[in-house]
Structure 1
């Protein structure tokens, strides 16, 4: 009967507003004295894009006959993605929740074009086929998400302490693996799965002080290659030593995807606009920073070259603005807009092979007389210093709109 009364209240909009924690420390709780069952349902849409300049190392002759390395414009890159998200979190104990989410990627499109603006000499990209204009089209179900959250402290119950939440989130490789060498079309899209397990450990603190609720969150994502993950040896396009595929030391795990580790720190505050008991508006402002480690994965140039590429590490720095309108105790609407700047990073930095002389670095001396130690992925055309590609001026935009139901 209590559930029926709640539904009726939602439909009539005749309920009082109950104070909740900041969105970043929200946890569904059950078996409370005043509420035996807690449930959140979030349904929303997301739009994200990344734009970058891709430049290439080249050597420029100087008057004294020496060569000076220089970066020259090669390509303009854009990626656009739209998705639907469905997430639910259910209280399985007091201040403990289990969550589940599933995204549907409506489109994930990429393009590469020659720079439109004339900015002096351009890099040689004759090894990339631009004759028909490069485009990649993907869509499909994304990876399922599972999580556990525990509010160790809850300010709503004990106002002498902040709200402190610890989480373990798991992204399962449920989406079918994509093949970066597959020639897609607008009417022939491929899938979006990377077949990588991702485990994210995070903790967040928030404390309500008057109409403000500042918060802090830190998270670490650990990737683990899953079954049926793609290896460049599945299609030897653009490989320097494909004959080494499958030989000792060059298994699928060593030649395939090596997703990056990600460490993120977020801090900000929510601000309640007005002191009302119902239909409340909250504003949210935060700063975001992420460290993305080096790894071999699908980066800004992979679709153009048809293979997974080794990227160097980089930082993401930016912020997010959001607003939540609490219609009543059971329904709220949230919108966000964020911007991230990505520091310059190499897109083709594959190692030539193994360090066989134990000097702490890998160079051609290591593999000169040992072809079996050469990395199959290494392509001297674009992985060798002097011909590498880099992403510069990279920036991410992200917008979302979500409706939340609270029971």
Structure 2
């Protein structure tokens, strides 16, 4: 019989998590001699949170220091999200599958808390407090996911080779576009769509050795801005040079969302407890690393300032533990818990503008980037996320037909 399928690869905060172990090298297959039709349906709940300190550069007192700026606490930040996922995969040929998934975000809440001891100081942000927000609320249907998977080699059919799978997954911008400038409330939430196409190319290898099945996966996500994507020029709140919006060189594409590229590497192994195939327990342990490129998107400070902000690149490093209990050949239950540490990165790193003559600065007013705000993008006033960490939990029921 065909085995389990779980299409659970997801982006938090533009930042993507690794798929479940059952998804790494197992593909729904049809037209097999012993299984003419393969179909997997998964339904699950997912909870994720991100906690960070948001700090700000502050000029140091002159006196020979080689470091021109120090970092002072400005906020503590928390984002909490709960969603439902429904995914299916159907074999369209031998060792070839088509998959589809649709998430429903039940809630996505953000909180910014200022240190009481810093009230009235630079960390109080009295010079940039353009929105006065300390909360943001979002919800709604997420982006639909489509995928093709091909098991180039299948160890079940040829035990001299490992299982090798290649995939192309596509996240379509089906969710309504969000507006970061919209002042939300618990009873008046905004949507979650970023209107960005995301194409993920991945390949994975696994080899079953006794009761263990080690695996390795590499993935690359390529974002492409879609129709009706948000631009900060849609609401010029907090823009340094709003009059440049729409001028040559500063179109919506150049002033709007620029989602990050993501490269991920996952290594780990499943461990089968016992040797029964009809009812068994599998344990899964893995390490996860992701590189998230620089970009302009909704980051940890966007909800407070009501703008898409330019983030610098950063790394995610962590791991995941999981367990799958297979009740019978048709039903199983899987739970996972993951932790990721995000390296420190800038949250307000917008460039000042175009450097047409390569002298290191934007010489004319028309060259200035409309998004650039000297209050928080200029060195000495930039914001950073430090000590950032993600927690992620899933519980999924898998149906195999």
Common topology (TM > 0.5): yes
Question: SS of the residue aligned with 2:389?
Answer: strand
**Whole-Å separation in 1 of the counterparts to 2:387 and 2:5:** 54
Residue 28 (structure 1) aligns with: 28
**Whole-Å separation in 2 of the counterparts to 1:96 and 1:185:** 45
- Are the aligned partners of 1:85 and 1:104 in contact in 2 as well (CA < 8 Å)? yes
Question: SS of the residue aligned with 2:125?
Answer: coil
The alpha-carbon distance between structure 1 residues 33 and 14, as it changes in their structure 2 partners (threshold 3 A), is: farther
**Whole-Å separation in 2 of the counterparts to 1:349 and 1:269:** 39
- Are the aligned partners of 2:146 and 2:171 in contact in 1 as well (CA < 8 Å)? yes
**Whole-Å separation in 1 of the counterparts to 2:351 and 2:166:** 38
- Are the aligned partners of 1:30 and 1:37 in contact in 2 as well (CA < 8 Å)? yes
After TM superposition, give the deviation of residue 343 of structure 1 in Å. 0.2
How many residues in Structure 1 have an aligned counterpart in Structure 2? 399
After TM superposition, give the deviation of residue 235 of structure 1 in Å. 0.1
- Are the aligned partners of 1:16 and 1:277 in contact in 2 as well (CA < 8 Å)? no
- Are the aligned partners of 1:201 and 1:220 in contact in 2 as well (CA < 8 Å)? yes
20-29 vs 201-210, greater mean Cα deviation? 20-29
- Are the aligned partners of 2:130 and 2:305 in contact in 1 as well (CA < 8 Å)? no
| Superposition CA RMSD, Å | 6.6
The alpha-carbon distance between structure 1 residues 31 and 380, as it changes in their structure 2 partners (threshold 3 A), is: same
- Are the aligned partners of 1:176 and 1:195 in contact in 2 as well (CA < 8 Å)? yes
Q: Deviations over 1:62-101 (max 9, x none)?
A: 3748895310000000000000000000000000000000
Q: Which segments of 5 or more consecutive residues in structure 1 lack a partner in the other structure?
A: 368-372
After TM superposition, give the deviation of residue 387 of structure 1 in Å. 0.3
Question: SS of the residue aligned with 2:118?
Answer: coil
The alpha-carbon distance between structure 1 residues 361 and 278, as it changes in their structure 2 partners (threshold 3 A), is: farther
The alpha-carbon distance between structure 1 residues 15 and 192, as it changes in their structure 2 partners (threshold 3 A), is: closer
**Scaled by the length of structure 2, what TM-score is found?**
0.91
After TM superposition, give the deviation of residue 24 of structure 1 in Å. 1.5
- Are the aligned partners of 2:155 and 2:162 in contact in 1 as well (CA < 8 Å)? yes
After TM superposition, give the deviation of residue 129 of structure 1 in Å. 3.8
The alpha-carbon distance between structure 1 residues 20 and 328, as it changes in their structure 2 partners (threshold 3 A), is: farther
Runs of 4+ with >2 A deviation = 1-23, 62-69, 115-124, 127-133, 358-363
Q: Deviations over 1:94-147 (max 9, x none)?
A: 000000000000000001011367899762411344997610000000000000
Q: Deviations over 1:291-340 (max 9, x none)?
A: 00000000000000100000000000000000000000110100000000
Q: Deviations over 1:189-228 (max 9, x none)?
A: 0000000000000000000000000000000000000000
- Are the aligned partners of 1:13 and 1:328 in contact in 2 as well (CA < 8 Å)? no
- Are the aligned partners of 1:47 and 1:82 in contact in 2 as well (CA < 8 Å)? yes
After TM superposition, give the deviation of residue 277 of structure 1 in Å. 3.4
Question: SS of the residue aligned with 1:233?
Answer: helix
- Are the aligned partners of 1:39 and 1:89 in contact in 2 as well (CA < 8 Å)? yes
- Are the aligned partners of 2:270 and 2:283 in contact in 1 as well (CA < 8 Å)? yes
The alpha-carbon distance between structure 1 residues 131 and 221, as it changes in their structure 2 partners (threshold 3 A), is: closer
The aligned runs of 1:6-405 (5 Å cut-off) are 22-60=22-60, 62=61, 64=63, 69=68, 70-115=70-115, 123-129=123-129, 134-359=134-359, 373-405=367-399
Question: SS of the residue aligned with 1:353?
Answer: coil
**Scaled by the length of structure 1, what TM-score is found?**
0.90
Q: Which segments of 5 or more consecutive residues in structure 2 lack a partner in the other structure?
A: none
- Are the aligned partners of 1:258 and 1:297 in contact in 2 as well (CA < 8 Å)? yes
The alpha-carbon distance between structure 1 residues 155 and 75, as it changes in their structure 2 partners (threshold 3 A), is: same
78-87 vs 268-277, greater mean Cα deviation? 268-277
**Whole-Å separation in 2 of the counterparts to 1:59 and 1:166:** 50
The alpha-carbon distance between structure 1 residues 403 and 234, as it changes in their structure 2 partners (threshold 3 A), is: same
After TM superposition, give the deviation of residue 355 of structure 1 in Å. 1.4
**Whole-Å separation in 1 of the counterparts to 2:184 and 2:192:** 12
**Whole-Å separation in 2 of the counterparts to 1:188 and 1:270:** 44
- Are the aligned partners of 2:13 and 2:298 in contact in 1 as well (CA < 8 Å)? no
**Whole-Å separation in 2 of the counterparts to 1:219 and 1:16:** 10
Question: SS of the residue aligned with 1:382?
Answer: helix
- Are the aligned partners of 2:7 and 2:101 in contact in 1 as well (CA < 8 Å)? no
Q: Deviations over 1:1-35 (max 9, x none)?
A: 99999999999999999999944111000000011
- Are the aligned partners of 1:25 and 1:165 in contact in 2 as well (CA < 8 Å)? yes
The alpha-carbon distance between structure 1 residues 212 and 6, as it changes in their structure 2 partners (threshold 3 A), is: closer
Question: SS of the residue aligned with 2:103?
Answer: strand
The alpha-carbon distance between structure 1 residues 158 and 21, as it changes in their structure 2 partners (threshold 3 A), is: farther
**Whole-Å separation in 2 of the counterparts to 1:400 and 1:320:** 11
Question: SS of the residue aligned with 1:315?
Answer: strand
**Whole-Å separation in 2 of the counterparts to 1:15 and 1:346:** 15
**Whole-Å separation in 1 of the counterparts to 2:8 and 2:374:** 68
After TM superposition, give the deviation of residue 159 of structure 1 in Å. 0.3
